[in-house]
Structure formats: structure tokens, C-alpha cells
Chains A and B, each alone.
Chain A
Amino acid sequence: MSIIEAKNLRKEFRINKKKEGLSGAIINLFNPKYESKIAVNDINFSIDEGEMVGYIGANGAGKSTTIKMLTGILTPSSGEVWVNGLIPYKNRIKNNLNIGVVFGQRIQLWWDTPVIESFRLMHKIYEMPKEKYKKNLEMYTELLDLKDLLNVPVRQLSLGQKMRCEIAATFLHDPKIVYLDEPTIGLDIMVKDKIREFIKTLNKEKKTTVFLTTHDLQDIEEICKRVIIIDNGNIAYDGSLDEIKNQFGKHRIIQFKVRNINAEIDNLFEEKKDTISVIYKDGYDLHIKFNGQEITAAGVMNLVSPYCDILDLTIQEPSIESIVKDLYRK
């Protein structure tokens, strides 16, 4: 039995099409014209308990609209959505007891009091038994290194410290599902790591389902096994992360460190432009993108070496970035 289920989920917005000028403003008052925008177009997916799913898409593709419907703060135009056996927008308050939500860079903790006070208040709001609260508090303080932060007023913390506390607060009441919207944005690499590790640990220990939307594809790589891509309101892909890398990860990149590039190398590139393409070229560096299914790295090196002195090289594996770019372009 899946814990999140979306069936033919659709959200259509009516946007007031405003006219220009004074006469337009008056006309609009008496005879408003509406334009319909379909943000989410009959999408279907189902997520089991304990899954960690990445939900990615370009801005405006329908990500936040989907999350809002899953969390119950937006009513769908049509279709069904089930979370934890409840219809979220019909049972919002009850559903909220079992979910946690993180909005990147936005803090739900209370600014003027020490972190621990916010935790205490959350403990009361979510009706947690005292023992569970104590246990979780101890565990999260350990995992996220919060010991020195607990007694500091939230407003005095740095962004990284705030987000660590924020994450702890979100998981405090052992929610069955946690929605994360850009959780690591603006954070330095150490904090990002800590947070990703934390999420993975909790998923392992408590089978917390994780629904992650982010533009940081490193987050996805580290945390998610499954990826759903939404594009213009439609699901473009729903499958494993590995699968998507295999299917679309044809392109690899070689970065050469060179000297003495012969000008005739441009003829080569013109000739071979279907197989390889130059991403970057100056007197010292030459970066080339090539289709791994048509030519090997060694093959590229052989092509290029007559035209310059190769001092060193690095081969880059396909990044989700480029994969998604390709998918979007399709």
C-alpha cells in the first residue's frame, strides 16, 4: 500500500487577463477575462513508505503546485490525492500531524528565543509523548551537532546553523513523510553533507518517506534512488536514478591541459562536429564533449593529439545536470 498516491491529479489556475491603460482597468472591473493555465496536468504516481524520491523540474514546471496539493494547502481542480490514507486538503490539520516540511532558507523556528524553546513548543504542538521527544532530541543533537546551538536565540545563528536546527525541528515529531523544498540552498558544503547524512540516517532508522524538490542535483545524487521529472505540468520521467543516467548519460567530457595548439585544430572540429564538440578552448585548456556511444575517450585523445601537446587530462562522468538539460530540451 503506497503512502502517497496521486491519480489524474490536475490543477488549473484562472489568471485574470488584465488590459492596458485606464480604459482597460475600468473594463476589467466590469467584464474580467480569464486565462486558464494548467499547472499540473493529470499526473499519476505512487510512492511507498520509506522511499526517497527526487522531484525535479524547471521553474514553473509544476513542482510547488504538486507539493502544495500533497500537503493539503492547495485544492486540486480534479483527480485524487491520498497521503497516509487521508485526503490532505480535506483533512489538513490531521494530516499535518504526520508530515514535516522544510522550505529552504525559510525558518519555522521562533526568532527571538533559544532553539530549545522552539523545540519544546513543537513538542507540544505535535502532541509528542515526552519520552519520544527526549530521545529524538538527543539523537538529532548528536547527529547534527547541535549541542552548542540549543541555547542560542535563533536570530543569532548563521544560515547553516539555522538550517541544521530547522531540519531537526522538522523531524522531531517522527513524521511519516517529510517534504523538502530546496533544503540545502545557500549552504556551504560541510553543512550540506551533514544534512544529507542526517536525512539518509533517519530514512534508514525510521523509514521516513522523503519527497525532495531541489535544483541542487548533488542532493538528488546523494539522497534519492528514484527520480520523478515534471515538465510543463506533465511527468516526463519516473524511474530510478541509475536508469536515467544510463539512458541519457551518453555525453562525457574530457578536460585536456595543453600547450601549443595548432590552428588547424579548428578544421578537425568542423569535420567531426557530430561526434565531438568543443566546450572550452584557450591557450592552456581544452574541454571536449563527446558521445560515449560513438567514440571512446581514447579515440578522442587520438584525434586531438596531433594538433597540440597534451600535458594532462581528466574525464568527467555524465552529470544529472546535463542529463536533465537534455531531457528538458526534448
Chain B
Amino acid sequence: MSQRSPGAPPTPGLLQGVDRLTIPVRNLAKAELFYTQVLGAEVVERDGTELGAEEQPCVHAQLCPGVELALVKQAFGWQPIDTSNPHVAFEIPGADVDRWVAHLAAWGVPSALVFREDYVVEIGVPTRVELHFLDPDGTQFELLAYDYPMDDRAARGHYNPWDLYYGPLAWPPPRT
């Protein structure tokens, strides 16, 4: 992708920042479990509501500095598994990528590690990598690092979205 402004990043004038990103979920308790335990969010408000055609119950949780998620109970509007947009992407340190893969797997969440074709560099050289996975309701997430050492294990460009599916009824995995 070409960059129109290669110098200092431009600054838009009207909108200040993100108030919150809303995520549709089937089950609030299950969503809270996923976002707090698996992704590390902290609950800000458990008994919230979002307005729409009706007052929809929700849980507000802060996922990282300045970004709050509203997990909203909604009975429809799910994304097909092989449709990658909309999605939300957050940055993690490259040193944590392998541990995130193991952490997601331990919670029964399949993931795909992807190097984009634009970023094909020599083995060992720090580069951009994407870690794709789904929440229990099928909402697509991406964790990305800009300083992950290139290796030959991850996919380049493509991944199979069906490999990420695990289904809302099958999660969380049973205790051992």
C-alpha cells in the first residue's frame, strides 16, 4: 500500500477519538468471560444498556488504554465465517506473539498467524505479523505486532477462516 503522507502523520480535525466499539454477543456472561479472561479486558460497567430499537443489555469493558468495548446482547447480525470485515485489530509486542498463540489455544480458541506478502523479509528479521481469531460469537479479531521475527511457520497472505471456527455453544472448553 502506498502512503500519501510519508512524513508526520496527518491530523484530522473533527473527531477526537474512540468512545467505544460495540460487539454483538449472544450471551453476556460468556462474552464477559472471554473478553476478561482470554483478552485481558477489565469490566467498567456490568449492568449497562445500549440504545437502539430497544434498550439492549450490555457489559462495558476496557481492553486497552483509551478503548472501551461494549458487549451488547443482540440476537442477530452475525458475520459469516468466511467474511473478514468488519474486524478490529489491536497491537501487541512481538515478543508476546507466541505466548498469545499458546494462550488462545489453552482456552480453546484456534488462531492463524499470518505474514502479509508485502512484508516478506528474511528469516529472523523483525516484521509485521497478524494473529487472527474469533470470539465465541464469531466476531473477528486481529492482534498484530510490528516487530515479530520472520519465520517459516506462519501463513503468507492467506489463511483458511474455517479453521478459526469453534462455535458459541462449544465454548468455554470443559475443565480438565
Q: Is this pair of chains taken from one and the same complex? A: no
* Residues on A facing B (Cβ under 8 Å): none
